[in-house]
C-alpha cells in the first residue's frame, strides 16, 4: 500500500498552526504563546493532505487525511464515502439526488463502526432518507479496546511485530512526503477549538469531506 503512494505535491497539503481560542468553555493560548515555543515558530500543529495511489484498485480514488492539535474535540476515525451511482432510478418519482453511502470506522474515543445509507421511507410515496446502522464496542462487549500505545507496548514486550511496519515501508512513507518537506507550503492559522484552517477545504470537494468528519 505505502509503495503505491504517489509523491505528494505541496499544493495538495495545508499546514496549520493554532492561535488562541476556546475549548470546552476555557480560554487557551496560541501555539506561539506556549511555554518554550518561539514567537516566530513555523512548526505545524495541523496538516491536511490529499493522496493518490498508483493502483488499478484505487485509481482515481482520493485519500484525504487531516490531523491536528487543539481542534474542536478528540476524534479519530476513518470515513469511506462510496461513489455516487451514474443512474438514479427514482428521478421519475421526484427523487433527483441521493446522499452518498458512507462507512465510518471510529477509532477513538467512541470505538465502533457506523454505516450510513439511503432507504425509502415506508408508505406509498417515494421519499428517500439517510439512515444509520451503528455498532459500538462499549455497548456490545461492555468494555473498551485497549489504548493504542497500551497494545503496542504489550506486543513489543511479547515480540509480536504484526502492528509494526517494516524498514522498507518507512522508506516508502518518507519518499511520499519528501516533496513537501523540501518545499513546504506556508503556515496558515486557525483558532483553537475549531476544525482547522479554512484553507483545508480547497483540497477536497464538499461531497468527499465536510465538517461532520473530524480527524482522519
Instruction: Point out the least confidently predicted range of 43-47, 79-83, 87-91, 150-154.
Output: 87-91
Model confidence at 81, pLDDT cuts 50, 70, 90, reads confident
What's the average model confidence in pLDDT over 161-188?
A: 93
Residue 78 pLDDT > 80: yes
Instruction: Point out the least confidently predicted range of 2-6, 23-27, 94-98, 151-155.
Output: 94-98
Fold for domain 2-203?
Dihydrodipicolinate Reductase; domain 2 (3.30.360)
Q: Where are the domains of the chain?
A: 2-203
Task: Report pLDDT for 46.
Answer: 97
Give me the count of residues in the chain. Answer: 216
Work out whether the CA dihedral 137, 138, 140, 141 comes out positive or negative.
Answer: positive
Model confidence at 130, pLDDT cuts 50, 70, 90, reads confident
Task: Report pLDDT for 92.
Answer: 60
Residue 207 pLDDT > 80: no
CA distances from 54 to 126, 172, 202 (A): 41, 13, 23
Amino acid at each position: 500500500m505505502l509503495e503505491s503512494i504517489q509523491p505528494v505535491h505541496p499544493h495538495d497539503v495545508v499546514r496549520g498552526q493554532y492561535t488562541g481560542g476556546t475549548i470546552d468553555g476555557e480560554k487557551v493560548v496560541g501555539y506561539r504563546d506556549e511555554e518554550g515555543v518561539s514567537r516566530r515558530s513555523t512548526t505545524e500543529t495541523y496538516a491536511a493532505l490529499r493522496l493518490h495511489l498508483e493502483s488499478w484498485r484505487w485509481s482515481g480514488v482520493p485519500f484525504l487525511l487531516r490531523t491536528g492539535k487543539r481542534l474542536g474535540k478528540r476524534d479519530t476515525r476513518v470515513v469511506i464515502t462510496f461513489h455516487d451511482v451514474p443512474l438514479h432510478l427514482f428521478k421519475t418519482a421526484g427523487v433527483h439526488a441521493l446522499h452518498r453511502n458512507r462507512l465510518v470506522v471510529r477509532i477513538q474515543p467512541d470505538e465502533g463502526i457506523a454505516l450510513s445509507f439511503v432507504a425509502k421511507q415506508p408508505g406509498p410515496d417515494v421519499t428517500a432518507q439517510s439512515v444509520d446502522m451503528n455498532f459500538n464496542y462499549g455497548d456490545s462487549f461492555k468494555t473498551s479496546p485497549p489504548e493504542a500505545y497500551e497494545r503496542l507496548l504489550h506486543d513489543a514486550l511479547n515480540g509480536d511485530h504484526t502492528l509494526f511496519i517494516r524498514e522498507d515501508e518507512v522508506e516508502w512513507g518518507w519518499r511520499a512526503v519528501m516533496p513537501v518537506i523540501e518545499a513546504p507550503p506556508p503556515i496558515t492559522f486557525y483558532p483553537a477549538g475549531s476544525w482547522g484552517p479554512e484553507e483545508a477545504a480547497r483540497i477536497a470537494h464538499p461531497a468527499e469531506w465536510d465538517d461532520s468528519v473530524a480527524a482522519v
